[in-house]
Structure 1
Amino acid sequence: MEQSSTAPGATADRDRSPSPPTRRVIDIVSLLATEPEPIPVAVLADRLDIARATATAVLAELDSAGWVVRVPQRGYRIGAALTGLTDPPLPHGVGDILAALTTRTGCGATLSRIDPDRLTVLDVRHGPDRVVPGIPVGHRIPLQFPAGASVMPWRSAAEQNTWLTAAPEVERRTASALLSLVRERGVALFRPRADDTGLVDLLADLLTAAGTELLQSNLRTRVLRQLAELTARPFTRAELDSDTVLPLSYLAAPVFDASGTAAYEVQLGPLRASTTKDERDGYIAAVRDAANALTAASKPGH
C-alpha cells in the first residue's frame, strides 16, 4: 500500500495546535513557499491531509490578500504580497517624514511601493481632520492608469508601454500627456470631474465617520473603488498653471531607492472641493519636500 504523502508533522502539529484553523493556514503557506511550481488544490489537500473544501476556502482568502496567486489550470503559488515581506526594510525615518507632511498640510499621506504589476501601501498617516479614506496598510491595486503615474516616467520603456496600453483607449492620449507633465513637474495631481465633487466629499466623509477598519471588507473595497474612479482625472498643464479655483483629490511624487530607481511614491490626499492656485502650489511643495526627504533617507549611511 502506498504511504501517505502528508507533509511530515502536519497532522500532529494541527492536533496539538490551540488554533487548528490558523495551523491550516500556516501549513498551506509553508508548503507553497517550498515548492517552485504551482500546486493544484487536490494535491495540496492530499499532502496536508485536509478536506479539499477547507483548502479551497483558505486559498481563496489568501488569494484575495495577495499571499498566493492562482495559476489557471495549474494550481496555486506564493504571491507577491508574501514575497514582498522579505524586501529590504524601509528607512527608520519614514514614519516621521510622513507625519511631518500631514502636520504641514493637514491631509492624510501614504507611502506605496510600485511593483511592475501593482501598487502596495506600506505606511499610512492620517491628517488631523480627515483620515486617508479607505486605504489600510497592505492595500494593493493593479498598476494601471492612473495608479503609479508619479513614478512611471522614470521606469523602463517596457513598463511605460504596458501601463499606457492598459489604459482605456479613450484615456491613452491623456495618459501619455500625463507622463510628460509629471517628468517636467516632478508631481502628479488628480481631481474629480466638476459634477462629481459633491459625491466625493460625501464618500470621504462617510469613510472618515465610519472608520476604515469598521467597514466590512467587501463594502470598503466597493466604496474605495468608486472613490478612486471619481477622483482620478489628471490635471492638465493649463489647469496646473491656472489661477482658477479648482477641486483637488490627490497628488503624488516619486521616491527613489538606493539604486536610483523610482520604486515608491508618496501620496497626499487633500480631497478638497475647491483650492486656489496658492493652496495647490503649497501642497505641491510639501509633497515634493517629503519625497526628497524619503529619497535621501533611502541612501546608504543615512
Structure 2
Amino acid sequence: MSDRSPSPPTRRVIDIVSALAATPEPMSVAAIADRLDIARATATAILAELDSAGWVRRDPSRGYGLGPTLMGLHGPALPPTLGDILTELTVRTGYGTTLSRIEPDHLTVLDVRHGPERVVPGLPVGHRFPLQFPAGASVMPWRSAAEQNAWLATAPDADRRVASALLTLVRDRGVALFRPRTDDAGTVELLADLLGAMRTELGQPHLRTRALRRLAFLTSRPFTRAELDSDAELPLSYLAAPVFDTAGQAAYEVQLGPLRISTTKSERDDFSTATIDTAHALTCALTP
C-alpha cells in the first residue's frame, strides 16, 4: 500500500479486494494482513463490511474470496438472496453447490457453497473459463441454434452424438446428470477426497488447476435416458439445472456435486428434484 495515497482507508479496501481477485484460493485474515502489511484488526474490520455487502464471502475454513455482489458488476446485479438459496440446497442434500453465469463463449463462477459431506476446492468465485462441452449443458437446450452448434463443436468426435442427445434429454427432464467416465468410480472419489484434504497444501495454482481439470474430465460422462430410468445403483458425479433471467433466457446454471460412488434411482431422483427446485427458486429471485 502506498503511503502517499490521498485516502489510506480507501486504499486498504482496494488492496484487499485486489489481493482476493488475484488469488485462486480463499485467503485467511492473517494471510491478507501479512501480504498487505496491515494490522489484522484492520483487515478483519474491512472484511466484515465487505462480507455484509456481498463483496467478499467467507468459506467454512474461514478463508475469504470474492463475493457474488462484486461478481455481479461484470453483469446484471444479483439479488443477495441467491446465496441463501444455494445454502438451502447444500443443507437439503449435504453436498456443495455452484452458481455460474453462462455466456456464449465462457462461463463465470458467481458463487460457491461447500457442503458438510465433502469440501472439494473447486473453481474460485470469479473464475472465468471457455464454455466447452459438457460445461453449460443445462442451459444449451434453451439457447439459439448458433450457440448450440458452437457448443456441440467443442465436443470430441467420440462425444458428439452423446452431446446432441443430451440437449434433448435435458430439455425433457429439466436437469443434466453426469457420472464418472471410468468404470472405476472409486478413483474419482479418491481424487476428490485427496483434493479436499490437500486444499491448504495444494498452493501452486498450476498443480491445483491440473488436478481440478483431471477431476472434471473424469466426472463428465452424461447419463443416458436408459440409465436415468434404470433401477440399478450407479455412480453420480454432479447435476446441473438452468436458471432464467428477467428476459426469459437460460443465463445461469446451478450445479450440485454429490460425487457419489453409488446412488440408487430414488437418490438420483431426489437429487434431481432438489436441483430443479433450487433452479426454480433462483429464477423466481431473479425475476420478481
Q: Which TM-score band (shorter chain)?
A: 0.7 to 0.9
Q: 1:184 aligns with which of 172, 176, 182?
A: 172
Contact 2:202/2:208 (8 A) holds in 1: no
| C-alpha deviation, 1:273, in angstroms | 0.4
Residue identity in the other structure for 1:144: Q
2:196: which partner in 1? Answer: 208
Give % identity: 72
SS of 2:146's partner is helix
| 1:62-116 deviation line (CA, Å, top 9, x unaligned) | xxxxxxxxxxxxxxxxxxxx99734222112111100000000000000000011
Contact 2:106/2:129 (8 A) holds in 1: yes
* Segment drifting more, 182-191 vs 205-214: 205-214
1:140: which partner in 2? Answer: 128
2:258: which partner in 1? Answer: 270
Q: 1:168 aligns with which of 137, 156, 163?
A: 156
Counterpart CA distance in 1 for 2:189 and 2:156 is 26
- Counting only pairs closer than 5 Å after superposition, residues 49-68 of structure 1 correspond to structure 2 as none
Counterpart CA distance in 1 for 2:71 and 2:87 is 28
Contact 1:212/1:220 (8 A) holds in 2: no
Contact 1:186/1:253 (8 A) holds in 2: yes
Q: How many residue pairs were aligned? A: 229
Counterpart CA distance in 2 for 1:213 and 1:112 is 26
SS of 1:144's partner is coil
Q: 1:155 aligns with which of 143, 147, 157?
A: 143
Contact 2:72/2:78 (8 A) holds in 1: no
| C-alpha deviation, 1:212, in angstroms | 6.2
Q: Give the TM-score normalised by the residue count of structure 2.
A: 0.74
Contact 1:133/1:212 (8 A) holds in 2: no
Counterpart CA distance in 2 for 1:272 and 1:283 is 11
| C-alpha deviation, 1:155, in angstroms | 0.6
2:231: which partner in 1? Answer: 243
Cα root mean square deviation, aligned: 2.4
Q: 2:102 aligns with which of 114, 128, 132?
A: 114
Contact 1:144/1:167 (8 A) holds in 2: yes
Counterpart CA distance in 2 for 1:212 and 1:237 is 39
1:254: which partner in 2? Answer: 242
| C-alpha deviation, 1:196, in angstroms | 3.6
Q: Which is higher, the Rg of structure 1 or of structure 2?
A: 1
Q: 1:130 aligns with which of 102, 118, 125?
A: 118
Q: Give the TM-score normalised by the residue count of structure 1.
A: 0.71
Q: 1:90 aligns with which of 78, 82, 87?
A: 78
Contact 2:99/2:111 (8 A) holds in 1: yes
Counterpart check, 1:222 vs 2:210: yes
| C-alpha deviation, 1:16, in angstroms | 4.0
| 1:227-247 deviation line (CA, Å, top 9, x unaligned) | 011000000000000000000
Structure 1 spans left out of the alignment, 5+ residues: 1-13, 27-81
Counterpart CA distance in 2 for 1:111 and 1:200 is 22
| C-alpha deviation, 1:282, in angstroms | 0.5
Q: Judging changes above 3 Å, is the alpha-carbon distance between structure 1 residues 83 and 137 closer, same or farther for their aligned structure 2 residues?
A: closer
Counterpart CA distance in 2 for 1:15 and 1:194 is 56
SS of 1:223's partner is helix
Q: Judging changes above 3 Å, is the alpha-carbon distance between structure 1 residues 213 and 176 closer, same or farther for their aligned structure 2 residues?
A: farther
1:292: which partner in 2? Answer: 280
Q: Judging changes above 3 Å, is the alpha-carbon distance between structure 1 residues 240 and 212 closer, same or farther for their aligned structure 2 residues?
A: farther
| 1:242-291 deviation line (CA, Å, top 9, x unaligned) | 00000000100000001101000000000000000000000000000000
